[in-house]
Structure 1
């Protein structure tokens, strides 16, 4: 079955972001650098940039990311794209923990709390400029 997976773009902080997300969500990070692929870049300063990185969590979440070397055009995260971490009543504590950890250095924080429609809801822009939404149903 196909999966829809967020793929985040950075200028040069993909490794740092993936490691931070791993510290929040758990799991394993796998990284391929531009330098590990022959012919991708001759610039020594770009050898360790992330060509493809992937975080897989124990719960089956997948988050991908890459850096942007000088020969590619950087596409910044847009205000119309948000990474959503959602679940049911059994996930409230885990989602709250992720929200709390991702709040470190975040801006535009809407607290994770009971919303008028009955779910626990919150949102923020993390320290890397990535917009996140958190929702845990109560029924």
Structure 2
């Protein structure tokens, strides 16, 4: 048996753009369905909104996103952070570089006191990311 914990990020109406962005960062494939596809668009303006979308990236990374239909509250700010960690410095640095485009850097990706490289940013969609690369960094 397998159990996974997958980040699921909600937007008002930016899920499609975010999916395309994250697909380039994580070298992944996008699948999505809209409220219109499912026959669940009570408001015609919701027909093209993403009911469920996901990016399946390299190394099995999975990120899910959706838009909020009209009449449903949508978050204005995120109160969680998504963490990427491991010892694959090349991949994690590449993810950092991709996520950094248009982002606000909270902490640059630099050596940390605990011996890893660590960085924190808020991407162009308002999602906060923490990146930790295990091991000593030159």
Aligned to 1:78: 78
5+ unaligned residues in a row in structure 2: which ranges? none
Which of structure 1's runs of 4+ aligned residues deviate more than 2 A?
Answer: 75-79
| Kept in 2: contact 1:9–1:76 (CA 8 A) | no
Q: How does 1:95-110 map to 2 (within 5 A)?
A: 95-110=92-107
Shift of 1:58: 2.4
Q: Which residue of 2 aligns with 1:5?
A: 6
1:29-69 CA-partner distances (Å, limit 9, x unpaired):
1000000012x113222111000001111210100000011
- Given the two structures, how large is their TM-score scaled by the length of structure 1? 0.91
Relative to the length of structure 2, the TM-score reads 0.92
Q: 2:61 — aligned with what?
A: 61
Contact 2:78 2:126 (C-alpha < 8 Å) held by counterparts: no
Between the aligned partners of 2:90 and 2:46, the Cα distance in structure 1 is 40
Q: Which residue of 2 aligns with 1:52?
A: 52
How many correspondences in the alignment? 135
* SS in structure 2 at match of 1:66: strand
CA RMSD, Structure 1 to Structure 2 (Å) = 1.3
Asked whether the 8 Å contact 1:9–1:77 carries over to 2, the reply is no
